[in-house]
Amino acid sequence: PVKPSAQPEQKQLRGASAAIAKNMELSLTVPTATSVRAVPAKLLADNRIVINNHLKRTRGGKVSFTHVIGYAVVRALQAYPNMNRHYAEVDGKPFVVTPEHVNFGLAIDLPGKDGSRTLVVASVKGCENMTFTQFWQAYEDLIRKARAGSLTADDFSGTTISLTNPGTIGTNHSVPRLQAGQGAIIGVGAMEYPAHFQGTSEQALTDMGVSKIITLTSTYDHRIIQGAESGEFLKRVHQLLLGEDGFYDEIFASLRLPYEPIRWVADIPEGAVDKTARVIELIDAFRTRGHLMADTDPLNYRQRSHADLDVLSHGLTLWDLDREFPVGGFAGKERMKLRDILGVLRNSYCRTVGVEYMHILEPEERRWI
């Protein structure tokens, strides 16, 4: 005899899950299209290292890639405010609605105790005039509320543009659904090397100057936003993430970092003077003038810089940061990455104590110091 099959388990969706289902049904009424752009991630990653090293030494906290990318999206809306509008029907007639503020929505993935996943979208309100520090703190407050289960109806309402980051779980490319009442949603893919380089060794990638990339998508309401606008908007985000218009300078100033950010430039090949000599020259420059960049005034913030202490002045770039150079016993090592060399030099000469000693004429005294 054939045994009767068990009935499939049925479970009614409630709360946030029911709201998500309703919003996804409504999203089917929005005619969307998607623009895609690949962005080099090296400058973003290198400046994030500088920022988090400084935060670790001082106030604490940590800046994520999504914090910086989200702030770039908000900044890009200054040039393309149409991306912050949405479509509405009033008395059966089509309208385009321009909100008073940028309410930046964050897609937050919340794992449940039973292994299920819940996606909620809450928004940072009125972030168009925020500094990076204000945006970062408001973003983190929203994440804490979501994880504590204390989000309110106000946190979910009024979102004008959203960001989702499936790249945190390795997704390279995402075309998310656009909720009714918003004009665009930006997707952030995983930070990876281009596929044809993924079998290449780290050493070879560093030598060749190959950057990881992130893939950004802009899924937009095609009734009010056209492909050219969406594409130009992603181009603007791309430009900001490469440091144009003082983007990282603004972030560094907001976080009160006492030095300038790393700059995006083309890799410089070996020339008549090889890079090892340039690195030794850079070390000598810090020993001579590093005290001029020391953060010795706690009452007066300013970004300190000196041409002789800029790696660009020595024919070195961000592409050299992970390359190893012979240093002949510097910091007790024979070979070091330029990133680590700069870390030792800044820790020695450019923190909260300035040390000047290269003017001493006696070699033994100089070596002792």
In the predicted model, what is the mean pLDDT of the chain? 91
pLDDT digits (tens, 9 = 90+) for 338-369: 999 999 999 999 988 988 999 999 999 988 88
Q: Does the active-site annotation cover 222?
A: yes
Q: Are strands 184-188 and 161-164 parallel, antiparallel or unpaired?
A: parallel
- Check 222, 291, 306, 314 and give the catalytic one: 222
51 and 147 fall within a common domain: yes
Q: Which two tokens stand for residue 268?
A: 């410089």
35 contacts 231 by C-beta, under 8 angstroms: yes
Residue 7 belongs to some domain of the structure? no
Q: What is the CATH number of the domain that holds 75?
A: 3.30.559.10
304 and 235 fall within a common domain: no
211 and 281 fall within a common domain: no
55 and 112 fall within a common domain: yes
* Res 30: pLDDT: 83
In angstroms, the CA 148 to CA 44 distance is 30
245 and 296 fall within a common domain: no
* Res 220: pLDDT: 95
For 41-62, give one letter per residue: b (16+ CB within 10 A) or e: bbbbbbbbebbeebeeeeeeee
Residue 5 belongs to some domain of the structure? no
Residue 270 belongs to some domain of the structure? no
Residue 62 belongs to some domain of the structure? yes
Structural domain of residue 326, as residue ranges? 275-368
Percent of the chain with pLDDT over 70: 95
171 and 227 fall within a common domain: yes
pTM of the model: 0.89
Residue 21 belongs to some domain of the structure? yes
Compute the Cα dihedral for 25, 218, 145, 131 and give only its sign: negative
Residue 320 belongs to some domain of the structure? yes
233 and 363 fall within a common domain: no
Please give the full DSSP string across 230-264, using - where no structure is assigned.
HHHHHHHHHHHHTTGGGHHHHHHHHTT-SBPPP--
Which is more confident, 6 or 230? 230
174 and 320 fall within a common domain: no
216 and 326 fall within a common domain: no
249 and 285 fall within a common domain: no
What SS3 state is found at 121?
strand
Q: Which two tokens stand for residue 32?
A: 């969307």
234 and 282 fall within a common domain: no
How many domains does the chain divide into? 2
pLDDT digits (tens, 9 = 90+) for 208-250: 999 999 999 999 999 999 999 999 999 999 999 999 999 999 9
pLDDT digits (tens, 9 = 90+) for 48-82: 999 999 999 988 999 999 999 999 999 999 999 99
105 and 244 fall within a common domain: yes
Q: What is the CATH number of the domain that holds 320?
A: 1.10.287.1150
Residue 11 belongs to some domain of the structure? no
Residue 135 CB burial class (10 angstroms; 0-12, 13-18, ≥19): buried
Residue 227 belongs to some domain of the structure? yes
Helices (H), the chain: 15-27, 42-57, 65-76, 132-148, 153-156, 202-208, 227-241, 247-254, 275-289, 338-349, 363-368
